[in-house]
Amino acid sequence: MIISETYFASRATVPGLVWVAGAALYLFCLPLLFGRKPGSGMNAAPKA
């Protein structure tokens, strides 16, 4: 919903604002995706 509202509110003045916001969100999420170590999830077996 927020993305649609932002797009329709800004498309006349700044057509690429939604794309820039999407790219910024993607860049923000990259460290979260790649910062996880293998085996650190909830399904990892406990170390003995």
The series of mean pLDDT values per 10 residues for the chain, 48 residues long, is: 79 82 89 74 60
pTM: 0.51
For residue 37, the model assigns a pLDDT of 67
For residue 27, the model assigns a pLDDT of 92
Identify the residue whose tokens are 């293998």.
38
